[in-house]
Amino acid sequence: MTLQEWIQASENLLKQHYCLALSDAGFEPSDLERAWNDGEVPAEYIRRMALKFDLTSKADLGFS
């Protein structure tokens, strides 16, 4: 997976589960690239960032 594909997958997951874009949430390109370089998969990265920033998912709010 290229960096651009990884970023797009992360963006899609963030929108799907939290109704946010990477830019809305303040994700820095350097942080995204570092996670990609470290081999972290998008789902793990978004899950980790959601915990770190205490994001509330759509599901937790009762939306599907």
Evaluate the CA torsion angle 6, 12, 17, 22 in order and state its sign: positive
Q: What is the pTM of this model?
A: 0.88
Q: Tell me which residue range forms the domain holding 46.
A: 3-61
- Rounded to an integer, the average pLDDT of 42-58 is 94
pLDDT tens, residue by residue, 5-47:
999 999 999 999 999 999 988 889 999 999 999 999 999 999 9
DSSP designation for 53: T
Count of domains in the chain?
1
Quote the radius of gyration of the chain (alpha carbons, Å). 11
